[in-house]
């Protein structure tokens, strides 16, 4: 008896929420809808940058309204989410796919219904879908170039991302593009090359410890694929007293990584301004909905997915963040000066560039 | 009655989901007496002894130990009143050795509350000697012992702590003739020491051989409690099967 | 290679069971299974040492290896008692992640930076939160009778979510400087002198226990083990401890070139193993854990408070997750929200390779440590050779299967 009344309560609660949601959408029925299907709305980034900037950009278009769903890391839920958004009659749809494969039928249905559909941040490889993301190969190129600027020759280590994700190989492709000619000419030698299971910093740390042991510390530069793995690499270098002596790359503009750059522990982080991505999504959606042909909206063709489907695309360029331009991050409100410069004045003398970076002065 | 029973149960009820497993049962045992409890499977024997051993609690009814009413909420309570039980399943932890099983739940300790392994082994050896059972290595887990040895461990656990009341559920079911004889000797021995024993068994031969009185259960009720010397096996069998003393219906019906 | 050596060993054991050797080993009271695992570890070590041209058994790599093993090994000690009691804890990876983030939030965001009490407060917070969450999970398993698989599967999801909420998706760093010593970095070792003190205390303690045992047995009139055997055990143990301390002391600080000594995480692990082993073999609580694992109904009938014991097992597991979390974030000098992801599998695998049986009732903390060492040795050695992670995973999976297969056939042979 207890159980069934509890169940009723839960159902009742769910109904109230549903009804509230229905009311909101009813009020907005006379406006055009910009729909977003999130894969899992649990990263700080989504709320703070992507969504906030989408909403801000939408203010420029008074006859548009915003509607969203959160798949909570479920491929099945995201399929029904997209179907719901189609039923609600959205005029443009951005999808951040949880599963790049399972999302295809739902995305194809959206295209078939004539809804301008955008693969946001991650490609949805269905013909007719627009691709809006950062240029991940460029991320890899920035990482390689950043390290190369400090150590043009010597023993290099690749600390790659998770081998189960396409993006790891896209990024690594960019790194190879820059470094391969130098490897071929013998200026650079790869002395360690490991994927990092789940992009986990602990794994990167252990792998780096082993690579250092295997080479008796004769490592000159580390091309790490993101800031998390870079953190693991820096921890391993610290244990050998090598921190700051060996350039390390990364991406994402993690607060911890930017602090490391300020301290001279990390060399570069390829930063993808998600706010720009959010604004672009709105502009692309509105343009497509007003009838502008996709090849006019897109700035390039992207054919680099697993199935080699070519899509109209906008690939935003990431920015290389180094000690010299850290103030970009402060200006963008990404972090506070306090966060950026914490502990900068206590960096041991063994680290090069002890004087604080311009942004911390 | 000139003496007080060492243990008695009065008007005990126990139901599982509306089905009465034990209904208005009253039994007792005197010091130095063996009371056989017989009946078909499902007659309520197991439930009854689990109530007395504290594993189940009765829905209603009274339990007296030495004339004093007691409240048995757990096996721990029952053990505190000197009620020991040898279950048909033996209830041994197969992965532990003999002495760990004998002292399971009542371990001997030394400094800082650490287990006194050596002392427990010495005592286990003593109690097994008393049962005239040899176990080669006290360190081997009981899973590796023979049926008789395992039985001895279970019995040893019950008698080591100077039980006042001993409940034995099918103590000879898994044993050969030689070992069965040993258990018989043991029961007579304990009886002479003044222990009250409830003997649950399918084997009417054993029951007639060892018990002073016999209580017959059928569908959760007491059919009759008889003095062993006053009845024949056929009469008891008839009570078990038909619920009356003879087929002609001369017997006394259950109250 | 491991396969054939294990087969030989298993066959040897079956011969012994009927013969003289078996009786000898029984008399010596030596755990043959543990010996077999140590043998496997030695074989792995020698193989990689040859394959890496002497790098694998160098002080530096052994130092790193013990450090790399400690996080999983600390949790594996707890997992053993969970598995012994016929339960499982799938939540340890996520729980460790959340507790790590919690400890990081406390010292980075809540307490004043650089305060002397930073490290101890965040450690205590992580351990107590671990105990509380362990009690919570244990409550559902013990008192509400939900299968531990389900309760801790829910925990696996919930605590990962908790980590995200606490960190808001960010990677918290850097850690307090004193706290970092818990992770065994540059300054996180106890130096040569204290390492020798540690070694001598261990040897003297072990010897005292053996002498005390002999004295007690003779008082009770029990046959003591032959003196030569006890002396042999002490000598082997002392030699192992001395070799370990010397190895740790020959790894030099990379900048100062002074001996490092035993890293603090390894010290923590040693204390955990001793406590868990003493608890398992010498206390009522430990006896009940094994008894419940052998026959839960018998434990109930023997008057053991099965519910309370079960809940306490999860409390111990939770505390060890907290400890592990602190070591891990101190070592990494950061608390990422992904901390401990999939680690439950490594922890369970270490316990199982170390001899814990999922059927319950069997397993030791020492075994779990060796299980963890075997797994980490393989990972460590394979990265040294430059084998890719996909191949590493295949090999680790193979080792897991072989270990369990070896155990099953060993048990069957012993029964015959």
DSSP per residue over C335-368, as a string?
Answer: B-TTTTTTHHHHHHHHHHHTT--TTSS---HHHH
Residue A170 CB partners (closer than 8 Å, separation 6+):
A136, A137, A140, A304
Under the banding of pLDDT at 50, 70 and 90, the label for residue B180 is confident
Residues of B in contact with C212 (CB under 8 A): none
Q: Do C301 and B85 touch (CB under 8 A)?
A: yes
pLDDT value of position C361: 92
Residues of B in contact with C279 (CB under 8 A): none
Query: Which of A200, A206, A255 has its CB closest to that of C341?
Result: A200
Q: Do C220 and B104 touch (CB under 8 A)?
A: no
pLDDT value of position A270: 96
- Rounded Cα distance between A147 and A225, Å, is 12
- Rounded Cα distance between A276 and A274, Å, is 5
Neighbours of chain A (3+ CB pairs under 8 A): C
Cα–Cα distance list, B102 to B77, B117, C67, C304, C321 (Å) = 18, 12, 43, 14, 35
Find the distance separating the first CA and the last CA of chain C, reported in whole Å: 26
pLDDT value of position A28: 47
Q: Do C171 and A195 touch (CB under 8 A)?
A: no
Instruction: Return the closest-CA partner of residue B58 out of B29, B80, B78, B43.
Output: B78
Instruction: Return the closest-CA partner of residue C98 out of C172, C179, C180.
Output: C172
Q: Do C290 and B95 touch (CB under 8 A)?
A: yes
Under the banding of pLDDT at 50, 70 and 90, the label for residue A5 is very low
Under the banding of pLDDT at 50, 70 and 90, the label for residue C5 is very low
Residue B64 has pLDDT above 50, yes or no: yes
Inform me whether the C-beta atom of residue C303 falls under 8 Å from chain B C-beta atoms: yes
Question: Is residue C27 packed enough to be buried (19+ CB in 10 Å), middle (13-18) or exposed (0-12)?
Answer: middle
Q: What is the mean pLDDT of residues C286-291?
A: 97
Let me know if chains C and B touch, i.e. at least 3 Cβ pairs under 8 angstroms.
yes
Q: Do C332 and A217 touch (CB under 8 A)?
A: no
pLDDT value of position A4: 44
Question: Rounded mean pLDDT of chain C?
Answer: 90
pLDDT value of position B254: 38
B-C contacts (CB, under 8 Å): 81
Inform me whether the C-beta atom of residue C293 falls under 8 Å from chain B C-beta atoms: yes
pLDDT value of position A239: 93
Residue C23 has pLDDT above 90, yes or no: no
Tokens linked to C40: 């496997």
Neighbours of chain C (3+ CB pairs under 8 A): A, B
Mutation target vs B (from C214, C295, C411; most B CBs, 10 A cutoff):
C295
Please count the other Cβ atoms lying within 10 Å of the Cβ belonging to residue C363: 28
Rounded to the nearest angstrom, the minimum Cα separation between A128 and chain C is 33
Binding-face residues of C in 270-289 toward B, CB within 8 A = 281-284, 287
Inform me whether the C-beta atom of residue C406 falls under 8 Å from chain B C-beta atoms: no
Q: Do B121 and C222 touch (CB under 8 A)?
A: yes
Q: Which residue of A has its CA nearest to C251?
A: A240
Q: pTM of the full predicted structure?
A: 0.87
Query: Which of C168, C339, C383 has its CB closest to that of A194?
Result: C383
Inform me whether the C-beta atom of residue C290 falls under 8 Å from chain B C-beta atoms: yes
Inform me whether the C-beta atom of residue B104 falls under 8 Å from chain C C-beta atoms: yes
Residue A25 has pLDDT above 60, yes or no: no
Binding-face residues of C in 70-89 toward A, CB within 8 A = 71
Query: Which of A195, A198, A259 has its CB closest to that of C338?
Result: A198
- Rounded Cα distance between C358 and C33, Å, is 16
Instruction: Return the closest-CA partner of residue B86 out of B195, B204, B194.
Output: B195
Residue C216 has pLDDT above 90, yes or no: no
Please count the other Cβ atoms lying within 10 Å of the Cβ belonging to residue A28: 15
Residue C19 has pLDDT above 70, yes or no: no
Let me know if chains B and A touch, i.e. at least 3 Cβ pairs under 8 angstroms.
no
Query: Which of C58, C338, C384 has its CB closest to that of A200?
Result: C338
Question: Rounded mean pLDDT of chain A?
Answer: 88
- Rounded Cα distance between C276 and C264, Å, is 18
Residue A180 has pLDDT above 90, yes or no: yes
Tokens linked to A46: 């989504």
A231-274 pLDDT tens trace: 999 999 999 999 999 999 999 898 999 999 999 999 999 999 98
pLDDT value of position C29: 62
Cα–Cα distance list, B230 to B184, B233, B251 (Å) = 21, 10, 13
| HSE-CB of C162 using CA atoms within 13 angstroms | 22
pLDDT value of position C26: 59
Q: Which residue of C has its CA nearest to B104?
A: C302
pLDDT value of position B253: 41
Q: Do C185 and A207 touch (CB under 8 A)?
A: no
Rounded to the nearest angstrom, the minimum Cα separation between C284 and chain B is 7
Q: Do A213 and C60 touch (CB under 8 A)?
A: yes
| HSE-CB of A110 using CA atoms within 13 angstroms | 35
Q: Do B91 and C361 touch (CB under 8 A)?
A: no
Rounded to the nearest angstrom, the minimum Cα separation between B89 and chain C is 9
Query: Which of A42, A214, A231 has its CB closest to that of C171?
Result: A231
Q: Do C221 and B87 touch (CB under 8 A)?
A: no
Between residues C410 and C12, which one has the greater pLDDT?
C410
Residues of B in contact with C222 (CB under 8 A): 118, 121-122
Helices C284-294 and C306-332: crossing angle, nearest 10°? 110
Neighbours of chain B (3+ CB pairs under 8 A): C
Inform me whether the C-beta atom of residue C202 falls under 8 Å from chain B C-beta atoms: no
Tokens linked to C301: 């009938």
Residues of C in contact with B89 (CB under 8 A): 297
pLDDT value of position A7: 45
Residues of B in contact with C221 (CB under 8 A): 122
Q: What is the mean pLDDT of residues C345-367?
A: 93
**A43-47, A231-235, B203-207, C338-342: least confident range:** A43-47
pLDDT value of position C352: 94
pLDDT value of position C9: 40
Under the banding of pLDDT at 50, 70 and 90, the label for residue A351 is low
φ, ψ at A356 (rounded to 5°): -60, 150
Q: Do C283 and B96 touch (CB under 8 A)?
A: no
- Rounded Cα distance between C343 and C27, Å, is 39
Q: Do C332 and A232 touch (CB under 8 A)?
A: yes
Instruction: Return the closest-CA partner of residue C190 out of C268, C254, C300.
Output: C268
Strand-pairing partners, residue A194, are: A159
Residue B38 has pLDDT above 70, yes or no: yes
Inform me whether the C-beta atom of residue C11 falls under 8 Å from chain A C-beta atoms: no
A-C contacts (CB, under 8 Å): 114
Q: Which residue of A has its CA nearest to C189?
A: A239
Inform me whether the C-beta atom of residue C146 falls under 8 Å from chain A C-beta atoms: no
B133-165 pLDDT tens trace: 888 778 888 998 888 899 999 999 999 998 999
Instruction: Return the closest-CA partner of residue A95 out of A273, A281, A315, A276.
Output: A281
pLDDT value of position A2: 41
Instruction: Return the closest-CA partner of residue B144 out of B176, B97, B100.
Output: B97
Instruction: Return the closest-CA partner of residue C294 out of C84, C96, C10.
Output: C84
Between residues C184 and C6, which one has the greater pLDDT?
C184
Query: Which of A198, A209, A257 has its CB closest to that of C64?
Result: A209
Residue B179 has pLDDT above 90, yes or no: no
Residues of C in contact with A240 (CB under 8 A): 254
Q: Do C333 and A342 touch (CB under 8 A)?
A: no
Rounded to the nearest angstrom, the minimum Cα separation between C29 and chain B is 9
């Amino acid at each position: 008896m207890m159980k069934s009344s509890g169940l009723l309560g839960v159902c009742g609660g769910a109904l109230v929420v549903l009804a509230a949601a229905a009311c909101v959408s009813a009020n907005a029925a006379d406006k055009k809808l910009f729909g977003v299907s999130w894969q899992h709305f649990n990263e700080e980034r989504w709320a703070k940058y992507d969504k906030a900037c989408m909403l801000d950009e939408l203010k420029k278009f008074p006859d548009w309204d915003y509607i969203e769903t959160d798949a909570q890391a479920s491929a099945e839920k995201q399929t029904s989410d997209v179907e719901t958004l189609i039923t609600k009659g959205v005029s443009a749809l951005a999808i951040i796919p949880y599963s790049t494969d399972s999302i295809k039928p739902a995305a194809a249905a959206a295209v078939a219904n004539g809804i301008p559909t955008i693969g946001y941040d991650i490609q949805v490889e269905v013909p007719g879908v627009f691709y809006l993301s950062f240029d991940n190969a460029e991320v890899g190129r920035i990482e390689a170039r950043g390290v190369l600027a400090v150590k043009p020759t010597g023993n290099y280590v690749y600390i790659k991302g998770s081998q189960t994700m396409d993006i790891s190989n896209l990024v690594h492709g960019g790194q190879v593009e820059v470094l391969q000619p130098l490897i071929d000419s013998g200026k650079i030698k790869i002395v360690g090359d490991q994927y990092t299971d789940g992009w986990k910093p602990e794994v990167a740390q252990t792998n780096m410890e082993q690579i250092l042991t295997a080479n008796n510390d004769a490592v000159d530069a580390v091309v790490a694929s993101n800031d998390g793995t870079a953190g693991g690499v820096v921890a391993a270098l610290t244990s050998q007293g090598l921190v700051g002596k060996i350039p390390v790359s990364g991406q994402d503009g993690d607060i911890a990584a930017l602090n490391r750059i300020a301290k001279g522990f990390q060399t570069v982080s390829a930063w993808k301004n998600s706010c720009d991505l959010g604004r672009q999504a709105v502009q692309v959606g509105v343009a497509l909905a007003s009838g502008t042909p996709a090849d006019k909206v897109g700035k390039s063709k992207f054919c680099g997915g697993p199935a080699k489907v070519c899509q109209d695309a906008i690939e935003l360029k990431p920015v290389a963040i180094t000690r010299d331009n850290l103030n970009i991050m402060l200006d963008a409100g990404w972090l506070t000066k306090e966060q950026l410069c914490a502990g900068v004045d206590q960096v041991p003398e063994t680290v090069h560039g002890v004087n604080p970076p311009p942004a911390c002065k | 009655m000139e003496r007080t029973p060492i243990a008695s149960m009065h008007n005990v009820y126990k139901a599982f989901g509306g089905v009465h497993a034990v209904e208005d049962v009253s039994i007792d045992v005197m010091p130095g007496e063996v009371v056989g409890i017989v009946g078909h499977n499902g007659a309520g024997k197991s439930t009854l002894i689990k109530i007395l051993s504290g594993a189940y609690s009765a829905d209603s009814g009274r339990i007296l130990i030495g004339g004093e009413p007691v409240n048995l909420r757990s096996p721990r309570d029952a053990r505190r009143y000197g009620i020991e039980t040898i279950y048909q399943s033996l209830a041994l932890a197969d992965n532990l050795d003999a002495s760990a099983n004998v002292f399971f739940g009542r371990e001997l300790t030394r400094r800082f509350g650490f287990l006194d392994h050596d002392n427990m082994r010495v005592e286990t050896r003593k109690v097994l000697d008393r049962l005239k059972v040899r176990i080669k290595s006290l360190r081997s887990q009981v899973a590796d012992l023979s049926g008789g040895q395992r039985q001895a461990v279970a019995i040893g656990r019950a008698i080591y702590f100077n039980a006042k009341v001993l409940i034995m559920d099918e103590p000879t079911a898994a044993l050969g003739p030689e070992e069965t004889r040993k258990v018989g000797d043991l029961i007579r021995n304990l009886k002479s020491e003044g222990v009250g024993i409830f003997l649950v068994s399918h084997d009417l031969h054993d029951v007639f051989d060892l018990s002073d009185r016999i209580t017959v259960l059928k569908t959760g009720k007491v059919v009759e409690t008889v003095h062993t010397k006053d009845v024949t096996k056929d009469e008891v069998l008839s009570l078990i099967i038909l619920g009356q003393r003879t087929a002609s219906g001369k017997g006394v019906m259950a109250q | 290679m491991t396969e054939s050596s294990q087969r030989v060993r298993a066959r040897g054991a079956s011969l012994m069971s009927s013969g003289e050797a078996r009786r000898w080993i029984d008399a010596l009271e030596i755990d043959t299974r543990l010996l077999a695992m140590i043998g496997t570890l030695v074989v792995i070590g020698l193989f990689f040492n040859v394959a890496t041209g002497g790098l694998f058994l160098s002080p530096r790599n052994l130092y790193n290896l013990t450090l790399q093993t400690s996080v999983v090994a600390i949790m594996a000690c707890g997992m053993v008692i969970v598995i012994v009691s016929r339960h499982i804890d799938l939540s340890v990876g996520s729980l460790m992640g959340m507790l790590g983030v919690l400890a990081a939030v406390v010292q980075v965001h809540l307490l004043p930076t650089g305060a002397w009490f930073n490290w101890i407060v965040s450690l205590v917070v992580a351990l107590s939160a671990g105990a509380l969450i362990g009690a919570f999970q244990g409550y559902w398993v013990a008192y509400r009778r939900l299968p531990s698989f389900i309760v801790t599967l829910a925990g696996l999801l919930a605590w990962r979510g908790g980590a995200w909420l606490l960190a808001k998706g960010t990677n918290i760093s850097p850690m307090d400087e004193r706290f970092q010593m818990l992770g065994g970095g540059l300054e996180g070792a106890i130096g040569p002198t204290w390492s020798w003190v540690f070694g001598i205390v261990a040897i003297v303690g072990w010897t005292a226990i053996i002498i005390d045992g002999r004295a007690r047995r003779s008082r009770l009139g029990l046959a003591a083990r032959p003196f030569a055997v006890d002396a042999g055990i002490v000598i082997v143990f002392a030699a192992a401890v001395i070799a370990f301390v010397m190895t740790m002391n020959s790894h030099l600080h990379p900048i100062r070139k002074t001996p490092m000594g035993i890293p603090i995480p390894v010290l923590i692990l040693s204390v955990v193993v001793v406590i868990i082993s003493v608890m398992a073999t010498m206390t009522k609580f430990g006896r009940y854990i094994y008894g419940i694992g052998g026959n839960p109904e018998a434990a109930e009938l023997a008057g053991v408070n099965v519910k309370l014991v079960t809940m306490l097992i999860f409390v111990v597991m939770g505390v060890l997750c907290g400890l592990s979390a602190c070591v891990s974030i101190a070592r990494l000098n950061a608390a990422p929200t992904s901390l401990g992801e999939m680690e439950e599998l490594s922890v369970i695998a270490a316990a199982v390779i170390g001899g814990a049986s999922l059927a319950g009732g069997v397993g030791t903390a020492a075994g779990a440590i060796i299980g963890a060492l075997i797994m980490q040795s393989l990972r460590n050695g394979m990265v040294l050779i430059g084998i890719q992670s996909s191949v590493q995973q295949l090999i680790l999976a193979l080792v897991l299967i072989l270990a369990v297969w070896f155990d099953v056939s060993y048990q069957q042979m012993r029964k015959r």
